[in-house]
Structure formats: C-alpha cells, structure tokens
Structure 1
Amino acid sequence: MIPIQLNVFCIIVYMLESLIIIVQSSLTAVVLGREWVRVKGLSPVDKILTVLGICRFCQQWSSMLFNFCSYLHPNYVFWYLAIVWEFINTLSFWLTSLLAVFYCIKVSSFSHPIFLWLKWRIVKLVPRLLLGCLLISCLSIIFSAMRHRITIQLKSMRHFARNSTVIERLETFQWDFSIYQQVAVLVIPFLLFLVSVVLLMTLLSQHLRQMKHDHTGHSSSSLKAHVTALRSLAIFLIIFTSYFLVILISIIGTLLDKGSWFWAWEAVIYAVVSIHSILLMLTSPKLKKALPVRC
C-alpha cells in the first residue's frame, strides 16, 4: 500500500497530464482542421496528425471517465468505456505506425520496384490507409467487446457452486486469450513502426556519413539538419517504445497491485503520452507556428 498523500499527488499529476494532452490534441485538431477546410486539402502528414489529434482527445476523455468511474464505483464494471479506450488506443498505434511508414517510404532510396511504386503512390494512398487503420481498429474491437462480455458472464457464474472447476478453467482460458489478443493488436503496428524508424535512421546515417566523406558542396546547415533529424528520430523511438512497454505491462497486470499503485501507474502512462503528443506536434510546420514558443 502507498500513502494516501502519494495517491492524491498521483491523481493531481494525472489530472494535469490529462489537461495537457487535451489542450495539445485540441490545438492539433483545430489548427489543422481549420487549414483543411480553408485550403480544401492538407499534406499527408498533417492529415494523419489531424486524425491522431482527434483520437488523443477522445482517448483522454474516455480514460478519465473510466478511471474515475471505476475508482468511485468499484463494484460496477464500466466495460463499455474500456472498449472505447481500447479502440482509440489501437487506432492511435496504427496511425503512429502509418506516420513512420510514410516518412520511411518518402526518404528511402531503394531501387526495388515495390519501393519505387510506393514512393510514387504513397501520397494518394494516405486517405485509404487512414480508412484501413480505422477498419482494423473496428475489427479488433469486436473481439474486445466479446472478451469483456464473456468476463462479465463468468463473474456472474461464480456465484453458483456447481461446476466451479469448469468455471475456473474457462476463466483461465479467457484470461490467456485476453492477454494474447490485446498484445497482438498492439505488437503488429509497433513492429511496423520499429522497422520503419530503424530503417529511416539507417538511411539518414548512411547519407550523413557520405556527406561528411565528400563534404564539398554540402553546407554546414545541411549536416546539422541531418544530425537534428537523427536525434529527433532517436527520441521519438525511445518515447513511443516506452509508451508501448508501459501499456504492455499494464495489460499483463501481473507486476502491479492495481489497488494501491493504480494512479501512480496512470500518471506514468500519460506522462509518456503527453511527451509523445508534443513530438508529434513538432513534425508539422503549421503546428509549430501555432505554438506559443519557438521549438
């Protein structure tokens, strides 16, 4: 058990982080959405960021509703709020992976026909890929809804003395299936993100070494731009990997005492989310101009 003072402190930190994320996501959606309406179009990156900003806004509100409703009414199961959060979290994972894949394809210099075709078509494919991310998330949430429904039914069956062994076996199977399903839904887009970012960093490193080798004709500003890009990608990789790991540990749940460390763990998760949101905002020149300070 943690002291009540620390628990209250974690709740306050979580609320401040939630406020930051809501402001960040609102700014992203409003600025880019207004530009989308004004010029009747956006760059592919800004389109992804707009949808991602809307996702983060909805995700944070669903998180706050679920956490406080579950904390104030522990005897009730707010499974529908958990499903909303899982759906938006899965969608945000796929959108972040799509952003990394887009940058990787645009920067890559491979001569393979598939890469050349993707490089030529990726801009026009972004709306379809956004729709694909939405459909995949909808498909995964069907299994989540079934999982939550079975969990509620199994808990209600525990009140009956008959077939207690069968119920325990069903609960064990359902628990294993629940973990594998949630992990698989997040691992696939994370692996896409990981491969894309590592490949992108490798290409930029090779190009930087080549520029340093024959530095004639290359300005120092170009070298600094490559170094800055590599540093930004490394930070982005660390932050998103951290987010994936804390979500993974939260899903497994065996390492945490949810009763005592729940709010501390939520504060850790959404601290990473807020940093990740800031990094995403810095990928758009339009959002940089809207920020109150220079980045």
Structure 2
Amino acid sequence: MNSESVPRSFWSRRMIPIQISIFFMIVYVLECLVIIVQSSLTVVRLGREWVQVKRLSPVDMILTSLGICRFCQLWSSMLFNFFSYFHPHYVFWYFGIVWEFTNTLSFWLTSLLAIFYCVKVSSFSHTIFLWLKWRIVKLVPWLLLGSLLISCVSIIFSAIRNHIRIQLNSMRHFPRNSTVTERLETFLHRYSIYHQGIVLALPFLLFLASTVLLMASLSQHMRQMKHHHTGLSSASLKAPATALRSLAIFLIFFTSYFLTILISILGALIDKKSWYWVWEAVIYAIVSIHSTSLMLSSPTLKRVFKVRCWGLEAA
C-alpha cells in the first residue's frame, strides 16, 4: 500500500476478471489477519514475560516494538485500501499517514535488530566492534527511541505534503490557477518519491550492511573451524550453517519487501491500477513470511513454541 496512490473506482477496473480481483482481495485480507495475529501473539507473550521477570532482553524489546508497529500498520493498510478502493472520490490521507509512519518505523526496527545481531554474534576484532559489543545492550532503549523520533520527523513532512495536496485539489475549479496547480502537484509527486525512497533506503542499507557483515563473519568462523579441526563432526558445524541459512532467508524476504515497496512508490513495472489487489497480496505475502522469521528470531518465543509443540505431542 502506498499513501500516494489512491486507486480508481471499483467498477472502472475491468482489465482483469472481477473474480480474480475478489480472490486476491480475500487472499490479501487473510494475509493481513495472519500478520495481525502473529504481531498480537508476539506482544502478548513478550509482555507476559516482562510482567513475570520485570525485564526483557534487547531482542525481545525490539520484537515487542515491531509487533505493536506491525499491528497498527496492517489495520491502517486495510482501512486505507478498502475505503479508497470503494470510495475513490474521498481522500483518506490520515490512514495513509499512519501506514507510512508505521512502515518507516518497521524498517528502522528491523535494521536495529540486524545491527544488534551483527554486533553481538560477529567475531570481528576491530575496536569499533569491540566497543559496540560492550555497549549495545545499554544502547538498545536509546536506539528504539531514536528510531521513533526519526519516523516522527519524516512523517511531519509527509503530513505537510498531504495538506498542501488537499489544498491544491480544492483549487482545481479556478481556471486561472490550473497551470500553477498542475506544476505544484508534479513537484509534490516527485518530492514524495525522493522523500519516501530516501527515508526507506537509509534503514535498509543499514540492515543490508549488518546482515552481510554477520554472514561474512559466520562464514569465516566456519572456515576456521574446518581448518583447525579437521576431525570436526558435521554436528559441530550445524549451528553456524543453520544461522547462515536463516540469515539468507531473512535477507531475501526483507530485500523483496523493500523492492516491492519501492516499486509501489515509483509506480513502475506493473499496472497497479488494474492489478491492485494482486499487488497487495504479493506485498503482504512477503510481509507474512518476514514476520514469521522475526518471531523465530526470539529465544523466548522459540522456547514457548517448543513447549507448546511438546505438549501437543504428549497429548
């Protein structure tokens, strides 16, 4: 979903069969509900952990914040998409603003999670890494606050941009102002593309750098283990190999999500106006898989799932 791309009316979309649109609309809703349930379970379970032990690990703090963020993001996405799809002549910019804010915040929180794992797990001996390894746990609350503040600042410009666009739309019926209005709208559209692209690209590049560094560190560690311990069993290499596979999956799906959002902002490569619900279903299928991988990155949640699965097997 992109707050800048308000879809056309329901009855004007006849480039694909209506049955296909309805099918992917249902798929999109189911995906959103799955992510909402995942986010709710994450927040409830980690919140209960915080109540019981009066503390949360840095990873669980990030995941709790991300769960709350995703919960709000998915509800704002559904409200914006359905309202603007069935009522195209109204501007539901406030839902779009909420979605844009939560989407930006989710990017920063995901990059923060990648940075934390990179600092704690990687075996680099550089002075900066050693200093961060010692300080990162205490820095996480401040980094969470910083992510929130950056997202708030970025959304202020989006709110001002939307307010100006609404004022320009109200001036369309003045013939003398039509040329000026069109030029201002073109400028705002280009500014919106650059603004959203930069806002999302910065945390994504931090995520990409952190993940690649961590994968390089794990690969180096595996090579050293094989070289210095020639008789090492395959079981000893299983943990780093599994971590590498998990990181690769995490990298692929978050990169896919970034690219789909970027394409959505640019409005390129596909005809979103005729394939609107297909595109939304693709985006949130990626988000669903990404949310699942995030849940499994928490030791607390994995321990809960193992206990539940063991209880089901025993029953």
Instruction: Tell me which amino acid in the other structure corresponds to 1:68.
Output: F
Instruction: Tell me which amino acid in the other structure corresponds to 2:278.
Output: A
What residue is the counterpart of 2:141 in the other structure? 127
What residue is the counterpart of 2:5 in the other structure? none
**1:138-181 Cα shifts (integer Å, max 9, x gaps):** 00000110111111122222221103222222111111101000
User: Which residues in structure 2 correspond to 1:57-68 (within 5 Å)?
Assistant: 57-68=71-82
What residue is the counterpart of 2:7 in the other structure? none
What residue is the counterpart of 1:38 in the other structure? 52
What residue is the counterpart of 2:179 in the other structure? 165
Instruction: Tell me which amino acid in the other structure corresponds to 2:106.
Output: S
What residue is the counterpart of 2:247 in the other structure? 233
User: Against the structure 1 CA distance between its residues 293 and 273, is the aligned structure 2 distance closer, same or farther, given a 3 Å change threshold?
Assistant: farther
1:156 aligns with 2:196: no
User: Which residues in structure 2 correspond to 1:180-195 (within 5 Å)?
Assistant: 180-195=194-209
Given the two structures, how large is their TM-score scaled by the length of structure 2? 0.90
C-alpha contact (below 8 Å) 2:124/2:217 kept by paired residues: no
Instruction: Tell me which amino acid in the other structure corresponds to 1:2.
Output: I
C-alpha contact (below 8 Å) 2:171/2:177 kept by paired residues: no
3-state DSSP of counterpart to 1:259: coil
CA distance in 1, matches of 2:61, 2:207: 18
What residue is the counterpart of 2:108 in the other structure? 94
Deviation at 1:95, TM superposition (A): 0.3
User: Which residues in structure 2 correspond to 1:3-152 (within 5 Å)?
Assistant: 3-152=17-166
3-state DSSP of counterpart to 1:162: helix
What residue is the counterpart of 2:189 in the other structure? 175
Deviation at 1:109, TM superposition (A): 2.8
Instruction: Tell me which amino acid in the other structure corresponds to 1:83.
Output: I
State the Cα RMSD in Å: 1.4
Instruction: Tell me which amino acid in the other structure corresponds to 1:277.
Output: S
Unaligned runs of 5+ in 2: 1-14, 311-315
1:203 aligns with 2:217: yes
Stretches of 4+ moved more than 6 A in 1?
none
Deviation at 1:216, TM superposition (A): 5.1
CA distance in 1, matches of 2:109, 2:231: 38
What residue is the counterpart of 1:261 in the other structure? 275
CA distance in 1, matches of 2:284, 2:256: 11
Deviation at 1:23, TM superposition (A): 0.8
CA distance in 2, matches of 1:169, 1:151: 12
Unaligned runs of 5+ in 1: none
The alignment of Structure 1 onto Structure 2 pairs a total of residues equal to 294
CA distance in 2, matches of 1:15, 1:172: 33
Between 145-154 and 198-207, report the one with greater CA deviation: 145-154
Given the two structures, how large is their TM-score scaled by the length of structure 1? 0.96
Instruction: Tell me which amino acid in the other structure corresponds to 2:280.
Output: E
CA distance in 2, matches of 1:124, 1:218: 37
Instruction: Tell me which amino acid in the other structure corresponds to 1:86.
Output: E
3-state DSSP of counterpart to 1:194: helix
